[in-house]
């Protein structure tokens, strides 16, 4: 499928921005509380540059392999303001070192093993600067077996996850900023609301049980349901199709 024109991309972004603003108004929130991450998987550098020209400064990739061939080149052409690159797909432990070099934030930390490896690689790569890598913990609060993330859809899973989350205080080179989830694909956006609400409630519980960080971020909401996610407290939304059009796979 052909890439959208610059005018089509601009129109899509304007519509997304309108929906974000409306959702913020309904929830009594400020627009500045929500970060739009444009999901650029499968998208060309020209498409990414066109969206960058419209003011977007956050982009998300799903696969390390694709990002390796894209992000270094994108950083050279997307100027003068820097772009923040988000790893939003499943991350295998064996690719942690590469992810540390490529991404500015990782949304999909789903095990102590992965967090520990990331912490070690950040220490090796940023020892001189002391820079920490922002991460989110991916949590499965819907109960779908096909979803990645810490299993936390029932009381036992939730308690086990909170205990696991406490261990991350020992990761000196990671900045734990919050939680991420993938909602089920449902016919109506409202059907995803309970999932988003459960993630927010889990974040609130972590603020009491694991206060080594303030847990400020909730990454939830995609093209089909992001207004509902914003109403339930999303601070990061991950939008691909609503901006770029159908996938070019």
- Confidence band (pLDDT; 50, 70, 90) for 124? confident
pTM: 0.96
Q: What is the mean pLDDT of residues 137-158?
A: 93
Confidence at residue 146, expressed as pLDDT on a 0 to 100 scale: 82
Residue 135 bridge partners (DSSP): 106, 176
- 223: DSSP letter: T
Sign of CA dihedral 187, 11, 64, 212: negative
Closest CA to 37 of 101, 106, 110, 93: 106
Q: Decide: 136 and 109 in contact? Cβ < 8 Å.
A: yes
Q: Decide: 233 and 180 in contact? Cβ < 8 Å.
A: no
Length of the chain: 249
Q: Is the pLDDT of residue 248 over 70?
A: no
Q: Decide: 239 and 223 in contact? Cβ < 8 Å.
A: yes
Confidence at residue 249, expressed as pLDDT on a 0 to 100 scale: 52
pLDDT tens column, 86-103: 999 999 999 999 999 999
Sign of CA dihedral 99, 105, 108, 114: positive
CA atoms of 130 and 221, how far apart (whole Å): 32
The proportion of the chain whose per-residue pLDDT surpasses 90, expressed as a percent, equals 91
pLDDT tens column, 40-89: 999 999 999 999 999 999 999 999 999 999 999 999 999 999 999 999 99
All structural domains of the chain: 6-243 (3.20.20.10)
């Amino acid at each position: 499928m052909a890439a959208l024109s610059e005018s089509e991309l601009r129109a899509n972004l304007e519509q997304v921005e309108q929906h974000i603003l409306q959702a913020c108004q309904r929830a009594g929130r400020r627009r500045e509380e929500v970060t739009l991450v444009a999901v650029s998987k499968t998208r060309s550098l020209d498409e990414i540059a066109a969206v960058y020209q419209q003011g977007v400064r956050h982009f998300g990739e799903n696969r390390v392999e694709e990002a390796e061939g894209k992000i270094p080149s994108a950083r050279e052409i997307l100027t003068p303001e820097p772009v923040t690159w988000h790893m939003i797909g499943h991350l295998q432990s064996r690719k942690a070192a590469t992810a540390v070099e490529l991404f500015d934030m990782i949304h999909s930390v789903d095990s102590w093993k992965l967090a520990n490896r990331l912490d070690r690689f950040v220490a090796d790569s940023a020892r001189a600067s002391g820079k920490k890598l922002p991460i989110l913990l991916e949590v499965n609060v819907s109960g779908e077996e096909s979803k990645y993330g810490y299993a936390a859809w029932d009381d036992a899973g939730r308690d086990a996850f909170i205990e696991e989350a406490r261990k991350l205080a020992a990761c000196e080179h990671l900045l734990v900023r919050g939680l991420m989830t993938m909602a089920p694909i449902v016919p109506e956006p409202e059907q995803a609301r309970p999932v988003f609400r459960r993630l927010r409630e889990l974040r609130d519980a972590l603020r009491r049980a694991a206060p080594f960080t303030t847990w400020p971020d909730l990454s939830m909401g995609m093209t089909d349901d992001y207004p509902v996610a914003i109403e339930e407290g999303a601070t990061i939304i991950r939008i691909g199709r609503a901006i770029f059009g159908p996938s070019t796979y």
